Structure 1
Amino acid sequence: MGLLLESFDEALELGRYLVMPLTRPLAVASGESTRRADEPKVRIDVPFSAWDTFASAALRAMRAGRHFTNDRSPKWNDARYMDVEGDVAEASSVYLLYAIDCVLTKYLPVGMFRVLSQHTVYGNTFSVRADRIWGLGNPNTLDLHAYFAILDFKRPTLIDPDDFGTVFTWNEFNARDPLEYLEPSFKNNSQILLKQAVSYSSHYGTKYIAFFDWHTLVLVVLVDTDLADTELKMGGEYCLVTIVTDRTQMMRALLGFLIKAYHAQMATVEDYTDIVGSVDSEQTAPSKGKGSTAGFGRSGGESSRHRRR
Structure 2
Amino acid sequence: MTPKEFSKYLALERQYSAHTVKAYMRDLLNFEAFCADEHKGSSLNEMPYVVIRSWIISCLEEGCSNRTVNRKVSALKAYYKFLLRKGYISSNPLAGHRPLKTDRKIEVPFSQQEMRQLLTSWSDEDTDFESLRDRLVVELFYSTGIRRAELIGIELTDLDIESKTLRVKGKRNKDRIIPIVENVMPRIVSYLQAREQAFPDLNTPYLFLSGSGNKIYETLVYRIINKYLSRVSEKVKKSPHILRHTFATHMLNQGADMNSVKELLGHASLASTQVYTHNSIAELKKVHLRSHPRNKK
Q: Which category describes the TM-score, using the shorter chain as reference length?
A: under 0.3
TM-score, structure 1 normalization:
0.23
TM-score, structure 2 normalization:
0.23
Structure with the higher fraction of residues in helix conformation: 2
Determine which structure has greater relative contact order: mean sequence separation of CA pairs < 8 Å that are 6+ residues apart, divided by chain length.
1
Question: Which of 1 and 2 has greater Rg?
Answer: 2
